[in-house]
Structure 1
Amino acid sequence: MTQQPASDERRPANNGRKAAARNRAALVTAARQVYAEYGLDAPLSAIARRAGVGQGVLYRHFPDRAAVATAVLDENVAQIERAAAAPGADIAGVFGVLTWHQTQSTAFVNILHADGAVARSGIPAYASALSGRVERALRTLLPDDHRLAAAKDDLMIAVAMVSGSVTGPTRELRERRALAAWRLLGVEVGPVRPFDGEEGGQPPLD
């Protein structure tokens, strides 16, 4: 019997990998959109429908709700980490980046508002891990004499309080309310924009 060339045997697998990559990207995009509308409690079936794939395809890429949420929110958190690590960074500027993500992403607000460094044991592990990364990034730049450095939990309690104020049908209204909350807390906030410094230059990360 004549064997098929090895290259022909591999071709379906290569095509399969390309399709899998496309499906994963579509699922992450769909999850951002669905979470923006309905929050982190949205059914996974709605994400699969929005992505145009079956629910079985979703579970092949993301075994559970935590995996979907982590994939969607990781870039929000990573931008804050990069902002904090950038040369010349200061805490006010990073608060501006944080606030931009709060006004853009309902799902991101969920992990910050649910935690607030008050009762970590009562929230999902992935949310605690993500909010913990945000806290560590902020603390790298928080001066010892900053008003949010007085007590261990003050920083993330303040973040949670601001997150709770980020409501409204438009981004402009949510930003105005977030800045008002920071002002009432006596905290200086830099320009509200993504880390790249091009406000509106990146798609919302929901």
Structure 2
Amino acid sequence: MPAERRPNRGPSAAAGNRAALVAAARQVFAANGYDAPLSMVAREAGVGQGSLYRHFPDRISLALAVFEDSVSELEALAAVPGTTLDDVLALITEQTIASTAFITMVSVPARPDPRIIELRDRVAKVLEERLGEARRAGLVRADLTSDDLVLAVGMLAGVLSKVPASERVDKAERLWVLIRGGIDARPGDGPILRQI
């Protein structure tokens, strides 16, 4: 149920309105995806659309405020000694189960905004650091790249966005079984597709 619209308290309400908008956007994006109407976010936050656009002039600005925490959480995990690629992929999967919108935003090249590219590059850097260790340990294909992993997570998000939230954990586990078949190291690894 949307929050009741608050009375306009002018500039003194700015910080509270911004926090309410970010919290509402997190919920709306999780439930309805990245392309959910921004009017839904304003209603959920209990503010007018004018307030939304004063704080966030476009969808990307709002999404960046929402998903900055997700990227920071990934970076913090990756900084912990002993963190593996599997640990990072597990956290990304948890974040994707909670909200497919984040992965949609960073993995879809049709949105070439430099702010999204910077966020995507931060995720790719975390993946690349752990991927290098996994390659050296012989755990993944030698030709696997961080872009491949972003693509795999994007496919995961695409599927999870189409199933009810109650089924996402089971579906994510099954998808990773299938995806891991293509990324894990195996004797005689070669191109996945036959040469034609």
Question: What is the TM-score when the length of structure 2 is the normalising length?
Answer: 0.75
Quick one: distance in 2 between partners of 1:151 and 1:157? Answer: 11
Structure 1 residue aligned with 2:57: 63
- Give yes or no for the alignment of 1:19 onto 2:13: yes
Does residue 136 of the first structure (1) align with residue 107 of the second (2)?
A: no
Q: Does 1:150 align with 2:150?
A: no
**Structure of larger gyration radius:** 1
Give the aligned residue type for 1:127. Answer: I
Q: For the Cα contact (< 8 Å) 1:148–1:154, is it kept in 2?
A: no
Displacement of 1:161 in angstroms is 2.2
Q: Distance in 2 between matches of 1:123 and 1:25?
A: 25
Aligned to 1:162: 156
RMSD: 2.2
Letter in 1 for 2:127: L
Amino-acid identity (%): 43
Calculate the TM-score normalised by the size of structure 1.
0.71
Q: Report the Cα offset of residue 146 of structure 1.
A: 4.1
How far apart in 2 are the matches of 1:164 and 1:55? Answer: 29
The 10-residue stretch of structure 1 (65-74 or 46-55) with the greater mean CA deviation from structure 2: 46-55
* Distance apart, 1:17 and its partner CA: 5.9
Partners of 2:21 and 2:41 within 8 A in 1: yes
> Could you tell me whether the CA contact under 8 Å between 2:100 and 2:157 is conserved in 1?
no
The 5 A counterparts of 1:44-193 are: 44-112=38-106, 114-115=107-108, 120=109, 122-125=110-113, 126-142=115-131, 143-144=134-135, 145-147=138-140, 149-152=142-145, 153-166=147-160, 167-171=162-166, 173-186=167-180
Larger RCO, structures 1/2 (Cα 8 Å, 6+ apart): 1
Q: What is the alpha-carbon distance in structure 2 between the residues aligned to residue 149 and residue 72 of structure 1?
A: 35
Contact 1:149 1:155 in 2 (8 A): no
Partner deviation per Cα, 1:146-172 (whole Å, 9 max, x = no partner): 43551444222222222223242234x
The alignment of Structure 1 onto Structure 2 pairs a total of residues equal to 166
The Cα of 1:18 is off from its aligned counterpart by 5.0
Q: Could you tell me which amino acid in structure 2 is paired with residue 40 of structure 1?
A: Y
